[in-house]
Amino acid sequence: MKARLISSVVLAATVLVGTAGCNLIAPQATLKHYDASDGVSANVGTLEVRNALVISFPGKEGVLAMTVVNTGDSAQTLTVEYPGGRVSVEVAASGPTAFGANGNPGITLPGFTTPAGADAATVFQYGTETGAEARVPVLDSADDFAFQEYKTLTPTPIPSVSPSTGN
């Protein structure tokens, strides 16, 4: 009777270790960072760029949509260098700043040259921090396959200077 009890305990312990021990040697997928949406991520200093993507408007410009999380205590001016130009945007301190989401306009990229379907080599940089490059995906604004949440992102008109006619 005692041998039966001991063998039952040993068997139960073996089954328990055998079924739960996989996590001891297998990598845990939940610990690996990945981009769960259409965009890509990059980190530069205390700024974390999340879900960056460009909606292209052929022959015009592009619109960059992303969220930037500032883990620092002071606002920063983030410079975005892309094929065809560069722009700078203000990122609030201590939290996320959304561009092209939550009712906020996207960032207009004048002279954007990367065609839809390609990845744009984009560098995010601020202050004296070394820039972080990301291959940002470019979606076509005219493509019916484009997701509905991106259809509202359009370029912000850039004011032009016209000569005055005088009085």
Structure tokens at 104: 């906020």
pLDDT at residue 46 tops 60:
yes
Q: Does a structural domain hold residue 8?
A: no
Q: Does a structural domain hold residue 81?
A: yes
Tokens 């997701």 correspond to what residue?
A: 147
For residue range 99-113, list pLDDT tens digits in order.
998 889 999 999 999
pLDDT at 30: 75
pLDDT at residue 7 tops 90:
no
CATH number at residue 93: 2.60.40.3770
Q: Does a structural domain hold residue 45?
A: yes
For residue range 112-132, list pLDDT tens digits in order.
999 988 999 999 999 999 999
Name residues whose C-beta falls within 8 Å of residue 147's C-beta, 6 or more positions apart in sequence: 38
Q: What is the mean pLDDT of the chain?
A: 85
What average pLDDT does the segment 28-47 reach? 86
Q: Does a structural domain hold residue 92?
A: yes
Residue 144 pLDDT class (50, 70, 90 cuts): low
Domain extent at residue 55: 40-150
Contact 61, 111 (CB under 8 A): yes
pLDDT at 147: 56
Rounded to the nearest angstrom, the gap between the alpha carbon of residue 65 and the centroid of all alpha carbons in its chain is 8
What is the reported pTM? 0.73
